[in-house]
Amino acid sequence: MILYIIVSFFLENVVGLLFNNSFIIPLFFLVSLITLYQFKNMDYEKYLFLLTILGFIYDVVYTNIYINSLLFLIVGSLVVLYSKYISNSFLLNLLAVFLSLIVYESVYYYIYILLGLNDFSLSILIKSLISTIPINVGYYILSYLCLNKVKAGR
């Protein structure tokens, strides 16, 4: 699982460079962290602490505004809450990833607006979500299938 998270971290950068000037935003690292909780059923306090630390590392490497610690914590909290009330199945986990991506992107855009870093319109957010969600959901599906194979092989 650690290898999967590390690969996701670097793969996100590679794919991000391929789609540099588009609305497609790979969030493979975030998807891998959501998948971690779904596959490992970690203690939620340790999971949220891990997300905060990894969000900070993500910020150091990829951004310069240091909000991903907070955003990863928000998304992780929602995943933990969602997982408490919903059974652990592929379709429901896929829904959790889908909703998490919407929350992450929306909060990210609104923080940018509040900080005065950009003047995004709602249409830009919607375009970004429409183009970002398919690649990240596709990554989740591929990850789920691969991790299930590994889990079954043990």
pLDDT tens digits for 1-29? Answer: 889 999 999 999 999 898 887 788 899 99
Asked if residue 81 belongs to a domain, the reply is yes
Q: pTM of the entire structure?
A: 0.90
Which tens digit of pLDDT belongs to each residue from 41-74?
A: 788 899 999 999 999 999 999 887 789 889 999 9
State residue 12's pLDDT score: 93
Residue 19, domain member (yes or no): no
Report, as an integer, the average pLDDT of 111-115: 86
Residue 10 lies in a domain: no
Neighbouring C-alpha atoms within 13 Å toward the C-beta of 130: 6
Q: Which helix (H) or strand (E) holds 50?
A: helix 44-62
Is residue 122, in this structure, part of any structural domain at all?
Answer: yes
Q: How many CB atoms lie within 10 A of CB 151?
A: 10
- Average pLDDT on 133-154 reads 91
CA angle (103 as vertex; 102, 109 as ends), nearest 5? 90
Question: Does 17 fall in a domain?
Answer: no
* CB distance 50 to 15 below 8 Å: no
The DSSP secondary-structure symbol of 41 reads: -
Long-range CB contact pairs, 78-82, < 8 A, 24+: 78/103, 79/34, 79/37, 79/38, 80/37, 80/44, 80/47, 80/48
Domain residues for the domain of 141 are 29-153
- Identify the three-state secondary structure at position 76: helix
pLDDT of residue 1: 80
66 lies in some domain: yes
Map tokens 């969600």 to a residue: 133
What is the number of structural domains in the chain?
A: 1
Picking from 39, 73, 35, the residue whose alpha carbon sits closest to that of residue 53 is 73
- The predicted structure's pLDDT at residue 42: 81
pLDDT at 103 over 90: yes
Beta carbons of 72 and 58 less than 8 angstroms apart: yes
Residue 16 lies in a domain: no
